[in-house]
Structure 1
């Protein structure tokens, strides 16, 4: 509705009535008078929610991501027990319980983020948790390989919702400065899930049998599903549409339109524009493609270690159960990256005090540190383990694992934040491309881990990974020096920034 066309007395009265309710609901017209958007004073916008409400919603979705991630890596320890029961080869068992899950996640990572940007986040989280509960229980309850394949694929498909959509939820609620910490906590929780899965499943499998890993998962997620109903919708465009609908009922004016860049007129348009957006971004946006490759390799390392670490530490004399405990070292390294976030926050605060604008490149400290540290950690681990080193104490490679854990979390946090700040409102679509590649590589890495470590021996196998990580060290100076120019040439990054500015409600940063 364009208010410039209102000329009659009833229309002028309607205009006054509309302005009254706009002021009352803290909404405003766009400069052209055709759409309604958020006012900067609107406390119902997710950026203006209370801290306690933001924290509660964030904790729920981060917990969902943590636990579903733990169930994903739990499949490695489970594969050993299920292999004997079903009479299949080790590689096939790993494929069924680990790779199939991650293949499902790769599909979900493309479908769900654009859906959440158009239709909202809340019911995706509820559906994920509820359906995941059912199919997790089916893996344990139905004694059939077909049931394992279908259920693990569906669980993986659903796991993409908290794994990928959560980044969009964080962007909904928090500005650039606050996202330094919220993305850190989310990345750390997800990475801790990768670490805790093998430990949890190893002990449950030995004590109760492999099926109880999934029964336990179903019980925990069943309770989580109940909590998910208390979650608040955070997608601003969805909430604004509800506000405008309410405004129409109050004023009696039909055809009021909200400013909604996510609007898709039909399913075909949604499929062509939204579903293929992550793939389009990956192949056309250098920022998305480079960050996806680095993040995918670093995260897939943890899945590879779920197969490779136990034999290495068993050669040190560890039992089957205790051979999973070195994952704790990776977890300690994950937590240590909190110190980097403190330093990063100080850098951002300093720039703000000096009146300088905050750009995505100001938050690449984790990438600058994480890339070389990952390479150092892998080289150290490679040449302090058997068979070429039989005299070095197991604590030395374990320290290297802590270094690797720190680097993995730095890369994940920094690169996720960089995508969120570069693509803003469409952060989920940018991250979906990253998640797709990460899921595919994580599905493949465990399959060739056993053959790779047997064929090359552990020392040389890890050295190959260390060499790849060393190549990544050229990326930090590329992004810090030329990142702004790369973004300036990106049509989608410019479009994302314009959409953000049209819908912005806070002045504290992106």
Structure 2
């Protein structure tokens, strides 16, 4: 991506001569039309030409931010169960306040932030969201009322949409297309790993103290992270180019040099049309957007349902409350297996290039073709290797099913997000906004229905319902291939 700056032509030709002489020294050049300044190839100040150490440092900080805020989102379930007696409320209301409110805030933030995420620079958004997230966690932990929980969790969820929507942009700023395949894969893996780390973290913290200490801990971690983010390097090329132009103005004394920033904040009318109406319209009028959003949302929302379902299931195996959260590690292990599928993706891409064939979005669905049947099989296996209907099978069998579940969830999330981007190109941001909205709302709803569903159906039949839904997913990859063949 090339950021540019407009030159207001000076009446003195000598000014242009001075500028042309200085541009190579500053790693810049004139565009062919002679009206713009752009980055020259190999400019070390452009984010894609940074040293590897700087790239890794920037990426590690923002990926950790996404990982930790995601962990705190699923940690709310354990806190909710612990806070029921303190606030004297029903379990469903407590889950709504600690989990669903967070995800509703995230859904709203996911709609509002994307149109503005390119305007203010990456660093400012990261620092501001981390600092305010820390303060909101303090509110949750210190205010002795349920209102403090609701306000704090909503603000945390709203702010968590910033790393979710901005990290991909930062990765695009820093890495070329080949590098991004691996970096985005790692980012997706760590983001989903946060989903399964949250219940483990919260269980161990709450077991030895009070649920409020979970949020004091979150405030401390995000507070330290805020200080580290202050050392982050801004990666938005257009803002960095504007700084280069400002330096040129000082050196050349050509005050008519002005930066042309393509990342303009939309006015209210444009915001409503693009950020609000377009994602909703795509969701209800485009079969691909609707299907991808629902399938991906259900896959990720399963983890939020498991935060309520897994502990009592493994306690029925004889696990202690602390031990009952450890099977989430199996899901986390499954997430890492996605690296093997990325190697297969690269071989498919190389094969197409070698034979001179264009690479279509459907050619990148390998992980979904594999992940959909594995998810269905894993859930069926899990459903019928756990008590009470099957009391005599080792818990290790069900844990293997969770490993496969983790692998398939990560594949579905990663592959479908990329498929949506490749299929809609200039409308990809709106398509991803629709996906994020459905995912957040469904993730907010599933924890509320998991406890009643488990009570009424029992663990075996409740998980079987999920397995049946996952089985339906297996028809989606052929559906996408048919859409591509028939051109609609």
TM-score, with structure 2 as normaliser: 0.90
* CA apart distance, 1:423: 6.1
Shift, 1:308, TM fit: 0.9
Query: 415-424 vs 463-472, which deviates more?
Result: 415-424
The residue that corresponds to 1:226 in the other structure is 227
Matches of 1:412 and 1:396, distance apart in 2: 25
1:390-421, CA deviations, whole angstroms, 9 ceiling, x for partnerless residues? 22222212211111001011112222333455
| Unmatched segments (≥5 aa) in structure 1 | 490-510
CA RMSD of aligned residues (A): 2.7
Partner of 2:348: 347
Q: Matched residue pairs, number?
A: 484
In structure 2, distance between residues paired with 1:356 and 1:247: 45
Deviation at 1:71, TM superposition (A): 0.8
CA deviation after TM superposition for structure 1 residue 214, in Å: 0.9
Give the 5 Å matches for 1:274-285: 274=275, 278-279=279-280, 281-283=282-284
The corresponding residue for 2:139 is 138
Are the aligned partners of 1:22 and 1:28 in contact in 2 as well (CA < 8 Å)?
Answer: yes
Aligned to 2:22: 21
Worse-superposed segment, 462-471 or 295-304: 462-471
Name the SS for the 1:36 alignment partner.
Answer: strand
Question: 2:308 — aligned with what?
Answer: 307
Kindly indicate whether residue 144 of structure 2 is the aligned counterpart of residue 147 of structure 1. Answer: no
Partner of 1:106: 107
Residue 330 (structure 1) shift: 0.6
Of 305-314 and 258-267, deviating more is 258-267
Partner of 2:59: 58
Deviations 1:222-276 (A, max 9, x none): 1111100111222223333333333344444455455544324755545544565
Give distance in 1, aligned partners of 2:255 and 2:289.
41
Aligned residue for 1:97, secondary structure, equals helix
Q: What aligned pairs does 1:7-406 form with structure 2 within 5 A after superposition?
A: 10-256=11-257, 258=259, 260-264=261-265, 266=267, 269-270=270-271, 272-274=273-275, 278-279=279-280, 281-283=282-284, 286-352=287-353, 360-406=361-407
Q: What is the Cα deviation at residue 457 of structure 1?
A: 2.2
Deviates more, 1:360-369 or 1:135-144: 360-369
Q: Compared with structure 1, are the counterparts of its residues 146 and 70 closer, same or farther at alpha carbon in structure 2 (3 Å cutoff)?
A: same
Contact 1:35 1:258 in 2 (8 A): no
* Residues 421-465 of structure 1, C-alpha deviations (whole Å, 9 max, x = no match): 556788655433322211111000000001112222222222222
TM superposition score normalised by structure 1:
0.87
1:164–1:431 contact (8 Å) kept in structure 2 = no
Structure 2 CA distance for aligned equivalents of residues 456 and 419 of structure 1:
35
1:315-366 Cα offsets, whole Å, 9 max, x none, are 2222222111111111111112222122223333444556666554443322
Structure with more relative contact order (C-alpha pairs < 8 Å, separation 6 or more): 1
CA distance in 2, matches of 1:363, 1:123: 34
Determine helix, strand or coil for the equivalent of 1:392.
coil
CA distance in 1, matches of 2:34, 2:143: 59
